Amino acid sequence: MAPRAIDAAAPDGFRILPDSRLRGRLGRRLLSPVLLTHLLRFADLLAIFAGALIVPFVREGAPSFVATEAFLLLGVALFASNAFSLAGLYAEDQLRRTGRQIRYALALWTLAMVLGVAILFLAKVSTDVSRVWAFGWFLSTAALLVLIRLALTRAVAALKEAGFLLRRVLVVGNGTHGHATLERLRKHDQDTLVLGYLETDLDAPLGPDQGRWLSGFLQARRVEHVVIALPWSATERVASLLGKLRRHPVSVSFLPGIDANGRALPLRGITTYADSPALRLLDRPLDERKYLLKSLEDRILGSLLLVAISPLLLAIAIAIKLTSKGPVFFRQARVGFHGQQFRVFKFRSMYTDLCDRPDQGFVAHTSKNDPRVTPLGAFLRRTSLDELPQLINVVLGDMSLVGPRPHAVAHDDHYSVLIDEYLSRHRVKPGITGWAQVNGARGEISDLTQMEQRIRYDLEYIERCSVGFDLWIMLRTVGLVASDSKAY
Band of residue 1 on the pLDDT scale cut at 50, 70, 90 = very low
Cα distances (Å, whole numbers) of residue 299 to 399, 419, 429, 468 = 10, 32, 13, 16
Residue 488 falls within a domain, yes or no? no
- CA–CA distances in Å: residue 14 to residues 9, 169, 198, 444: 9, 16, 5, 55
The answer on 403 and 348 residing in a single domain is yes
Provide mean pLDDT across the span 174-186: 81
| pLDDT of 449 over the 60 cut | yes
Higher pLDDT, 322 or 200: 322
273 and 127 in a single domain? The answer is no
Give me the helices (H) in 189-234, please.
Answer: 208-220
Q: What is the largest CA-CA distance in the chain?
A: 93
The mean pLDDT value for 317-346 works out to: 91
| Lowest mean pLDDT, pick from 6-15, 174-183, 450-459 | 6-15
Res. 7 pLDDT band, cuts 50 70 90: very low
Residues in Cβ contact with 379 at an 8 Å cutoff, skipping those fewer than 6 apart: 385
Whether 112 and 174 map to the same domain: the answer is no
**Residues 294 and 209 occupy one common structural domain:** no
Residue 16 belongs to a domain with what CATH number?
Answer: 3.40.50.20
Residue 405 lies in a domain: yes
Q: Express each pLDDT in 341-364 by its tens digit.
A: 999 999 998 887 666 554 455 555
Reference 355, options 329, 383, 330, 381; nearest CA is 330
Shared-domain flag, residues 170 and 157:
no
Residues 450 and 394 in one domain: yes
Residue 154's CB: how many other CB atoms inside 10 A?
A: 10
Domain annotation covers residue 150: yes
| The domain boundary residue, chosen from 135, 161, 187 | 161
Residue 374 has pLDDT above 70, yes or no: yes
Q: Which are the contacts of 311, defined by CB distance < 8 A and separation ≥ 6?
A: none
Indicate whether 469 and 352 sit together in one domain.
yes
Total tally of structural domains belonging to the chain: 3
Cβ neighbour number for residue 152 with a 10 Å cutoff: 18
Q: Are 332 and 346 in contact (CB under 8 A)?
A: yes
88 shares a domain with 38: yes
Give me the pLDDT at residue 174, please. 83
Tell me, yes or no, whether 362 and 392 share the same domain.
Answer: yes
Q: Are residues 13 and 46 in the same domain?
A: no
Q: How many CA atoms lie within 13 A of 337 on its CB side?
A: 17
Question: Could you tell me if residue 73 is inside a domain?
Answer: yes
Does the residue 222 lie in any domain?
A: yes
* Structural domain includes residue 325: yes
| Domain limits for position 200 | 3-27+166-280
Pair (261, 344) in one structural domain: no
**Residue 111 maps to a domain:** yes
Tell me the pLDDT tens digit for each residue of 276-308: 777 777 778 888 788 888 999 899 999 999 999
Choose the final residue of a domain: 146, 161, 176.
161
Residue 133 lies in a domain: yes
Give the residue from 280, 303, 328 where a domain finishes: 280
> Do 298 and 381 reside in the same domain of the chain?
yes
Q: Which of 20-24, 191-195, 197-201, 223-227 has the lowest mean pLDDT?
A: 20-24
- The kind and range of the H/E element at 225 are strand 225-229
Where b means 16+ CB within 10 Å and e means fewer, 30-48 reads bbebeebbeebeebbeebb
CA-to-CA distance for 297 and 300, rounded, in angstroms? 6
